[in-house]
């Protein structure tokens, strides 16, 4: 039997509309796992993804597999076009946000991990930064203590992966986002730390 072939589709946010529910569903499924523990809803997703949908400068890479639909995805958008809560840590640190491409998320279903999709998502978003003339790429990751009660024994932090791609963790640059965690009755604040890399031409 032929090996399954994964197709990558790269679209601007203005082409996202037909994919909104599939992407929202994938985010809900993947981010339900540790460390995000996100108890998501499509309503929250549609609202969260609207900012990408409204901008031609945002980029979404969708990984699809015949018969299985969407198995992975990644997003990015110029930080200057993101909401104030995303820009706040940089502005408070006296940084100029106009040269930064913000990476929204990078998600692959567990059964399709370890085949290079995650790395390809980084390369494609860095190429998008260069296309837009932006010189820095940034993303953030949720802060969880090493002894968090819901951390699975087999959990492998992604810090080594991100460092190997040239990203540096900036403990001084933190964002606070709100989402409802599994077991919570309502949204609560979560602390996230930014990682950055110069990625200009």
Ligand X SMILES: CC(C)(COP(=O)(O)OP(=O)(O)OC[C@H]1O[C@@H](n2cnc3c(N)ncnc32)[C@H](O)[C@@H]1OP(=O)(O)O)[C@@H](O)C(=O)NCCC(=O)NCCS
156 binds ligand X (CB under 6 A): yes
Determine contact, residues 138/194, Cβ cutoff 8 Å: yes
Q: At what angle do helices 20-31 and 42-53 cross, to 10 degrees?
A: 120
Long-range contact pairs involving 180-187 (C-beta distance under 8 Å, separation at least 24): 180/38, 180/39, 180/40, 180/44, 181/37, 181/38, 181/39, 182/32, 182/37, 182/38, 182/39, 183/37, 183/39, 184/39
115 binds ligand X (CB under 6 A): yes
Tell me which of 10, 21, 105, 181 binds ligand X, using CB under 6 A: 105
Chain-centroid distance, C-alpha 102: 9
Q: How far is the CB of 114 from ligand X (least distance, A)?
A: 4
161 binds ligand X (CB under 6 A): yes
75 binds ligand X (CB under 6 A): no
The string of DSSP codes covering 103-121 is: EEEEEE-GGGTTSSHHHHH
Q: How far is the CB of 104 from ligand X (least distance, A)?
A: 8
Indicate the residue among 50 and 115 with the shorter CB distance to ligand X: 115
113 binds ligand X (CB under 6 A): yes
Q: How far is the CB of 64 from ligand X (least distance, A)?
A: 14
Among the listed ranges 19-27, 40-48, 109-117, 127-135, the one in contact with ligand X (CB under 6 A) is 109-117
Spatial separation of the C-alpha atoms in residues 145 and 131, rounded to whole Å: 37
Residues 25-44 that bind ligand X (CB under 6 A): 30
Indicate the residue among 90 and 122 with the shorter CB distance to ligand X: 122
Residue sitting closest to ligand X (CB):
118
Q: Which residues bind ligand X (CB under 6 A)?
A: 30, 105-108, 113-119, 141, 156, 158, 161, 164
């Amino acid at each position: 039997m032929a090996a399954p072939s994964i197709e990558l589709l790269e679209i601007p946010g203005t082409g996202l509309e037909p994919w909104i529910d599939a992407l929202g569903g994938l985010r809900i499924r993947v981010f339900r796992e540790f460390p995000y523990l996100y108890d998501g809803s499509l309503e929250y997703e549609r609202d969260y993804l609207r900012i990408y949908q409204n901008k031609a400068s945002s980029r979404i890479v969708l990984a699809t597999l015949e018969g299985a639909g969407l198995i992975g995805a990644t997003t990015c958008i110029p930080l200057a076009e993101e909401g104030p809560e995303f820009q706040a840590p940089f502005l408070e640190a006296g940084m100029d946000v106009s040269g930064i491409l913000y990476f929204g998320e990078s998600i692959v279903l567990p059964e399709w991990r370890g085949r290079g999709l995650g790395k390809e998502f980084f390369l494609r978003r860095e190429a998008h930064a260069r296309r837009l003339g932006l010189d820095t790429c940034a993303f953030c990751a949720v802060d969880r203590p090493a002894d968090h009660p819901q951390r699975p024994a087999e959990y492998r932090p992604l810090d080594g992966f991100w460092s190997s791609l040239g990203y540096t963790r900036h403990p001084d640059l933190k964002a606070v986002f709100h989402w409802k965690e599994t077991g919570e009755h309502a949204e609560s604040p979560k602390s996230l730390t930014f990682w950055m890399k110069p990625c200009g031409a």
